[in-house]
Amino acid sequence: MAAVQVGGGDNLNESKSTSKISECNGKKKTDNGKMGGNQNGYVNSEHKSNGVDSAADMEAPAPWMDWAQLDIFPGSFEKCSLLTAALTHAGLYLLMFLGFVNQLLFTPKVATERNRVGYAPLYNPFEQFYSRYVYRRVRHIFNRPICSTPGAELTLKERATDDYNWSFRFTGAEKRCINLGSYNYLGFAAPEGECADAAEAAARRYGLALASSRAELGSTPLHQELEETTAKFLGVEAAVVFGMGFATNALGIPGLLGAGTLVLSDENNHASLILGLRLARVAVRVFAHNDMRQLERLARDAIAERRWDRIVVVVEGVYSMEGSIVPLPALVALKKKYGLLLYLDEAHSVGAMGARGRGVVDHWGVAPGDVDVLMGTFTKSFGAAGGYIAGAARLVDAVRARGHAHAYAHAMAPAVCAQVLAAMRAIAAPAGELRVRRLRDNTRHFRRRLRAMGVVVFGHEDSPVVPMLVYTFSKMAATVERLTARGVATVGVGFPATPLNKARIRFCLSAAHSRAQLDRCLDAVQQVVDELGLRYARAV
């Protein structure tokens, strides 16, 4: 079609220079030029529809998903009012401005690089400015040292600063707080009890570490047992375990995904997933958090491009900063319709979600086989360390053979293995299911009461991660300080872990919390909400 038009154009040019032949030729061509496009197009389509009837049907757009039939609720994400947003930004700029003035007037009390004159600056100046003058002001609420088990309660080592958070010193005092900050969802972080005893026995039996990688001399029967138990626990064929949760994603994904793969990744995916995808060198497209409609559009576009061997959707079960749960049944329906593959990171959900503690798969009642790759960590619900990748046997073999951790990283410590095994067995026992139920009840109770206070809470009803929005940086710090003073240890999260104007307090619930402890926390939260004016919810 285009070629005819171009040809027509050429002739038209020629007709100007030549005289005679051009008359008829030119006329013909101008006709073509005027309506050639339409005509040609028309003829073409006519020609095609003349072939087989269903061929025309084949050119029709493929039907879309019928989302009305499925639950695609992305989690509650109430928007803040314009005023709040403006004030938050203004507050941040004010902080930065004051920092700027500060920087002009005083030399910062920080170490500088020695003997590196003439070298390119090691750090990005803005980053440095941010960490010195914005982050430093709230530095005391992060990295707080503890000196006890991170169980239902923890003991904080109190720190004080004499120079506006440039440096800290220990006061020697300790403070017992209710722990709403650690990922101890099922309460298996305990210094005594079955799990700790199993860990001790394993350490004595196999030593503290193997000083070798799994593929060399670092495999013990304990590792094998853990892999078999994990696979059985999740209801899949096989599993492989790693010594560090972060490394599970960062080093495991490159073993699975490679050239020809397109990854559709949720915008709130964890840093380890992003790093893993980067190391795997796959093409990545990002969709808005839990937005199934956009995911469908991206998938359709990608299929229409006809250049991908496979399309993999990478999502998390429970998002640790948003408190939302992935709408898995909708995702599985989408995956089946378009032939996508699914990589599910259950770091925060395995153990903590579902009636039997098997993660979001269990929570939504999806068959484990419908998810291609199940990944999770042992750091959270199991009170240990490390992670696993589970799925079909062939896939797990690929992670062993091509993933980086199995060949190069040292094997998981035997004591950690034993702790996971004991915790996993405990979850499968009736008492374990009681723990899971207690966590769910605690979560619902806590979320209900928080909402009744009129604060903005993100995420799903059942997610044990409960983010309470405070928007501004300073309020985040003030809230954490005041809650600590009232005996509640919790976590504030701000930029860069969240968007600039969406600082939040994150509560992590645990089955180890008693109702009385939670109510004490909620009373403390209520007081702080009253004091700082954190009722941002528009409708209670």
Partner 1 sequence: MILLDIVDTASWWTIVIAVQVVIGCAYFLCTRKSKKHEDKLTKKMLLEWKPKPLVEEEIFVPQPQLMGKIDEGMLNVGCTSFLGFDKEPQIMERAIKSLHKYGVGSCGPRGFYGTIDVHLELEERLAKFLQVEETCVYSYGFSTIASAIPAYAKKGDIIFADEKVWFAIQKGIDASRSTVVYFKHNNMKDLERKLEMAAFQKDLNPQRRAFLIAEAIYYNTGTMCPLRKLVELARRYKLRIILDESLSIGTLGEHGRGLTEFLGVPRDEIDLIVGSLEHSFASIGGFCAGSHFIVEHQRLSGLGYCFSASLPPMLTEAAIAGLDILEAKPHLIAELNLVANKLQCAFSGLNYFTVSGDDLSPIKHLYPRDVVMPYETKMEFLHNIEKYCLHRGIAVAVTSYIKDAEKNCPEPSLRIAASTKLNDAHIDELCDILERAYLHCRS
Choice from 133, 206, 446, 458 touching partner 1 (CB under 8 A):
206
Choice from 16, 17, 19, 57 touching partner 1 (CB under 8 A):
57
- Binding residues among 316-345 for partner 1 as defined by CB under 8 A: 338-341
Choice from 138, 189, 295, 353 touching partner 1 (CB under 8 A):
189
Count of residues that bind partner 1 according to CB under 8 A:
132
123 vs 164, beta carbon nearer partner 1: 123
Choice from 67, 73, 129, 135 touching partner 1 (CB under 8 A):
135
149 vs 501, beta carbon nearer partner 1: 149
Residues 6+ apart with CB under 8 A from 429: none
Least CB distance from residue 424 to partner 1, whole Å? Answer: 13
Q: Does 140 bind partner 1 (CB under 8 A)?
A: no
218 vs 376, beta carbon nearer partner 1: 218
233 vs 382, beta carbon nearer partner 1: 382
- Binding residues among 225-244 for partner 1 as defined by CB under 8 A: 243-244
Is the CB of residue 118 less than 8 Å from the CB of residue 151? no
Is the CB of residue 415 less than 8 Å from the CB of residue 217? no
Q: Does 52 bind partner 1 (CB under 8 A)?
A: no
Q: Does 207 bind partner 1 (CB under 8 A)?
A: yes
Is the CB of residue 40 less than 8 Å from the CB of residue 33? no
11 vs 379, beta carbon nearer partner 1: 379
Question: To which H or E segment does residue 314 belong?
Answer: strand 310-316
Cis peptide before 496 (omega within 30 of 0): yes
Choice from 31, 228, 397, 523 touching partner 1 (CB under 8 A):
397
- Binding residues among 360-379 for partner 1 as defined by CB under 8 A: 372-373, 377-379
DSSP string, 432-483: HHHHHHHHHHHHHHHHHHHHHHT--B-B-TT-SEEEEEEESHHHHHHHHHHH
- Binding residues among 113-132 for partner 1 as defined by CB under 8 A: 113-116, 118-124, 127, 131
Least CB distance from residue 194 to partner 1, whole Å? Answer: 12
260 vs 499, beta carbon nearer partner 1: 260
Grouping H, G, I as helix, E, B as strand and the rest as coil, residue 148 is coil
Choice from 21, 211, 355, 452 touching partner 1 (CB under 8 A):
211
Is the CB of residue 493 less than 8 Å from the CB of residue 466? no
Choice from 51, 191, 430, 533 touching partner 1 (CB under 8 A):
191
Q: Does 394 bind partner 1 (CB under 8 A)?
A: yes
Distance of CA 430 to the CA centre of its chain: 31
- 30-54 burial: b if 16+ Cβ within 10 Å, else e: eebbeebeeebeeeeeeeeeeeeee
By CB neighbour count within 10 A (0-12 exposed, 13-18 middle, 19+ buried), where does 77 fall? Answer: middle
Using the structure block, give the residue that is written with the tokens 């050639």.
36
